[in-house]
Amino acid sequence: MSVSPAHSTGSPKSSSESGSGSTTDAAVESQSEIGAAALTEQRIVVLDFGSQYAQLIARRVREQNVYCQIVRHDLSADRIAELAPKGIILSGGPSSVYESGAPRCDPELFKLGIPVLGICYGMQLACEALGGKVANTTTREYGHAQCEIVDPGSLFDAMPSQIDVWMSHGDQVSAISEQFEVLAKTKTCPYAAIRHRELPIYGMQFHPEVTHTPLGGQVLANFVHGICDCQPNWYLSDFAEVTIRQIRETVGDRRVICGLSGGVDSSVVAALLYKAIGSQLTCILIDNGLLRKNEQALVIDEFTNHFKADLHVVNAEDRFLASLAGIAEPQEKRRRIGHDFIECFKEEAKGIQNAHFLAQGTLYPDVIESGADPDGPAATIKLHHNVGGLPEELGFELIEPLRDLFKDEVRRLGLELGLPEKLVWRHPFPGPGLAVRCLGEVTRDKLIVLRAADAIVIEEIESAGLYRDTSQTFAVLLPVQSVGVMGDARTYDNAIAVRSVNTDDFMTADWSRLPYELLARISTRIINEVKGVNRVCYDISSKPPATIEWE
Ligand code: XMP
| Nearest-CA residue for atom 3 of ligand 1 | 547
> In this structure, are 382 and 251 located in the same domain?
yes
Domain membership of residue 114 (yes or no) is: yes
Q: Are 49 and 121 in contact (CB under 8 A)?
A: yes
Domain membership of residue 546 (yes or no) is: no
* Mean predicted lDDT score pLDDT of the chain: 90
What is the crossing angle of helices 264-277 and 236-251, to 10°?
A: 60
Sheet holding 162-175, edge to edge: 67-72, 43-48, 87-90, 116-119, 201-204, 193-196, 180-185, 133-149, 162-175
pLDDT in tens, 118-139: 999 999 999 999 998 999 987 7
Burial of 95 by CB count in 10 Å (0-12 exposed, 13-18 middle, 19+ buried)? Answer: middle
Give the domain-ending residue among 363, 395, 424.
Answer: 424
| Distance between Cα 8 and ligand 1 center (Å) | 20
> In this structure, are 82 and 159 located in the same domain?
yes
Q: Is the pLDDT of residue 389 over 70?
A: no
Report pLDDT for 49: 96
Please state the rounded mean pLDDT for residues 381-393: 48
pLDDT in tens, 284-315: 999 999 999 999 999 999 999 888 999 999 99
Q: Is the pLDDT of residue 197 over 60?
A: yes
212 lines ligand 1 (CB under 6 A): no
Q: Where are the alpha helices (DSSP H) in 216-329?
A: 216-221, 236-251, 264-277, 295-300, 317-324
427 lines ligand 1 (CB under 6 A): no
21 lines ligand 1 (CB under 6 A): no
Going from the C-alpha of 368 to that of each of 125, 411, 448, the distances in angstroms are: 23, 19, 38
Domain membership of residue 7 (yes or no) is: no
Report pLDDT for 340: 96
Burial of 321 by CB count in 10 Å (0-12 exposed, 13-18 middle, 19+ buried)? Answer: middle
> In this structure, are 260 and 194 located in the same domain?
no
Report pLDDT for 372: 79
Can you tell me whether residue 356 is helix, strand or coil?
strand
> In this structure, are 119 and 150 located in the same domain?
yes
Q: Is the pLDDT of residue 73 over 90?
A: yes
| Nearest-CA residue for atom 23 of ligand 1 | 15
Number of Cβ within 10 Å of residue 374's Cβ equals: 15
Domain membership of residue 543 (yes or no) is: no
Give the domain-ending residue among 368, 399, 424.
Answer: 424
Sheet holding 255-260, edge to edge: 3-5, 397-399, 355-359, 255-260, 281-287, 310-315
| Nearest-CA residue for atom 11 of ligand 1 | 430
Q: Is the pLDDT of residue 1 over 70?
A: no
pLDDT confidence bin for 34, thresholds 50/70/90: very low
Can you tell me whether residue 183 is helix, strand or coil?
strand
Q: Is the pLDDT of residue 31 over 50?
A: no
- Enumerate the β-bridge partners of residue 535: 495
Domain membership of residue 245 (yes or no) is: yes
> In this structure, are 149 and 284 located in the same domain?
no
Can you tell me whether residue 369 is helix, strand or coil?
helix
Going by C-alpha positions, the residue among 57, 24, 334, 370 that lies closest to residue 210 is 57
Report pLDDT for 368: 86
Number of Cβ within 10 Å of residue 304's Cβ equals: 14
b/e sequence 223-242, b meaning 16+ C-beta within 10 Å: bbbebbebeeebebeebbbb
Domain membership of residue 80 (yes or no) is: yes
Indicate which CATH number applies to the domain containing 190.
3.40.50.880
> In this structure, are 396 and 443 located in the same domain?
no
Strands (DSSP E) contained in 155-229 are 162-175, 180-185, 193-196, 201-204
Going by C-alpha positions, the residue among 551, 463, 544, 458 that lies closest to residue 503 is 544
> In this structure, are 351 and 479 located in the same domain?
no
- Number of domains comprising the chain: 3
| Distance between Cα 14 and ligand 1 center (Å) | 7
> In this structure, are 271 and 206 located in the same domain?
no
In angstroms, the CA 231 to CA 242 distance is: 18
pLDDT in tens, 514-527: 999 999 999 999 99
- For residue 384, give the ligand 1 atom closest to its CA: 3
Q: Which residue numbers are catalytic?
A: 120, 207, 209
Pocket residue to mutate for ligand 1, from 506, 507, 510, most atoms within 8 A of Cβ: 506
pLDDT confidence bin for 335, thresholds 50/70/90: very high
Report pLDDT for 392: 67
Instruction: Provide the percentage of residues in the chain whose pLDDT is more than 90.
Output: 81
> In this structure, are 362 and 214 located in the same domain?
no
Please state the rounded mean pLDDT for residues 202-206: 97
Report pLDDT for 420: 92
Domain membership of residue 123 (yes or no) is: yes
pLDDT in tens, 145-194: 999 999 999 999 999 999 999 999 889 999 999 999 999 999 999 999 99
Please state the rounded mean pLDDT for residues 192-207: 97
Domain membership of residue 26 (yes or no) is: no
Going by C-alpha positions, the residue among 27, 10, 4 that lies closest to residue 390 is 10
Strands (DSSP E) contained in 43-100 are 43-48, 67-72, 87-90
> In this structure, are 357 and 503 located in the same domain?
no
Q: Is the pLDDT of residue 279 over 50?
A: yes
Please state the rounded mean pLDDT for residues 258-282: 95
337 lines ligand 1 (CB under 6 A): no
| Nearest-CA residue for atom 8 of ligand 1 | 15
pLDDT in tens, 435-489: 999 999 999 999 999 999 999 999 999 999 999 999 999 999 999 999 999 888 9
Helix (H) / strand (E) element for 454: namely helix 444-463
Indicate which CATH number applies to the domain containing 518.
3.30.300.10
Backbone angles phi, psi at 370, to 5 degrees: -85, -10
Q: Are 437 and 539 in contact (CB under 8 A)?
A: no
Going by C-alpha positions, the residue among 54, 138, 136 that lies closest to residue 98 is 136
* pTM for the full predicted model: 0.86
Instruction: Provide the percentage of residues in the chain whose pLDDT is more than 70.
Output: 91
Give the domain-ending residue among 424, 457, 484.
Answer: 424
Indicate which CATH number applies to the domain containing 276.
3.40.50.620
pLDDT confidence bin for 380, thresholds 50/70/90: very low
> In this structure, are 252 and 401 located in the same domain?
yes
Helix (H) / strand (E) element for 485: namely strand 472-486
> In this structure, are 264 and 388 located in the same domain?
yes
Which residues form the domain of 378?
Answer: 238-424
Pick the more confident residue, 400 or 8. Answer: 400
Q: Would you give the end-to-end CA distance of the chain in angstroms?
A: 34
Cα 196–chain centre separation? 35
Q: Is the pLDDT of residue 262 over 90?
A: no
Burial of 419 by CB count in 10 Å (0-12 exposed, 13-18 middle, 19+ buried)? Answer: buried
Backbone angles phi, psi at 329, to 5 degrees: -75, 125
Number of Cβ within 10 Å of residue 455's Cβ equals: 17
